[in-house]
Structure 1
Amino acid sequence: MQRPNASFKLEVMLHELSLPGVFLAKPTIHSDERGTFQEWFKASTFEEATGFPLDMQQGNLSTSRRGVVRGLHYADVPPGQAKYVTCVAGSIRDVVVDVRLGSPTFGQHVAVELSAENRHAVFVPVGFAHGFAALSDATVMYVTTSEYDPEIERELNPCDPALAIEWGVAEPIMSEKDVAAVSLADAQSLGVLPTFEACTEYETMLRDAWVLANEEAVQ
């Protein structure tokens, strides 16, 4: 499909959700007799909202049957792993949980619907756990800021009562790994949660490096 006429304004609007640093991206969708076109990610918009670029290192695509729940997954910080997630077929209930020990919003979560119809996307920062439930047969595409490393990958039980997440599916279909995952309280006891301080320092480092790179570019 050809790109639409340059006179048509394309943009991705980023809206910060109730968890600081978590953004919902809403694109402008152009439709004509051929079909549709959109920008599902725009570096300049992302950088303006967060203060640093999204350094994409790996792209993933998964298909899920209706009723499947994947997650909750997060990574050790450092190095952490941020994600930018969208649904390209069907619909999902996408969930982000703040697991940064010491955070004012520790243990809280946000949930949004991502679908092939609304074309929305979610940015998941480092220090947050992510998961989704397939509300229909669904295809999910996402990019990450680091390559997959099982040594730093962590799991939380998505059905942990303390998290009180409404997944929107009657009988969740989950992997053995996710079923056996620990609760948030157990993860805290085991000392495997990222800290608010470490995540804040990491993002400050990203912002400082981005400012320096821009200053050097104009010299």
Structure 2
Amino acid sequence: TIINEQVNDAMRLDTFRIFSFGDTGGASADYNMLDGMWTQLIAGVAASCVNRTSTFTYGVALADGEALAACKAAYEGSAIILKQLPKSMKYIAVTGAVYENLLSSYESNTTGSDLQFTNLTNGQGESEANLSYRGIKVVPVYAWDDSLADADNPLFGTVDNLLIYTTKDNHAAGFMKQSDSETFQGKYDWKDEKYYIRGHYAMGYTYLHCDLQSIGY
């Protein structure tokens, strides 16, 4: 039914939001069911495990070239173990504002040779990315922007831009049963003219290696 399809879509968005920003120390029941990626990454910075290579000032619009500088800092400041991996195994995920700032930097680059610009965006070799930095795919995650604007988000009021340079396999998110991510029960009650929906499952997140990521926030 249409209702079930809408609920399914909402569950996917909520699951991604929780995996991204869940915080067991948070006040809101919308976020405190597990420690998500950014909660663990920021805690990893405090524990000298995760490498923070850039800082975005909260509530201040990104300066021209700031995203490009943040990508450069993440790339050059990453651990050797991350640098040596093939570009196809890595990506840079950013909030939408960071992505658009980076795109503006590329668009405004009117000096230099074609080869210089190609090296800046694609690096040496082939790149399948629509937008890339030195051959590493740059992925905009606009869902992060939306979640960071939520007053119940544990990072609300302190963080509004994010960047992570990492590998595809360094982050593990799972369910007790794979089918749980899209499983729920729906029932219409004629007595009170309401449609009831119930879903219940266990899930968790962890990153695997401290040095396989550089972050900015």
TM over 0.5: same fold?
no
TM-score (norm 2): 0.25
Taking structure 1 as the reference length, the TM-score comes to: 0.25
Q: Which has the higher contact order (CA 8 A, sep 6+)?
A: 2
Query: Between Structure 1 and Structure 2, whose CA radius of gyration is higher?
Result: 2
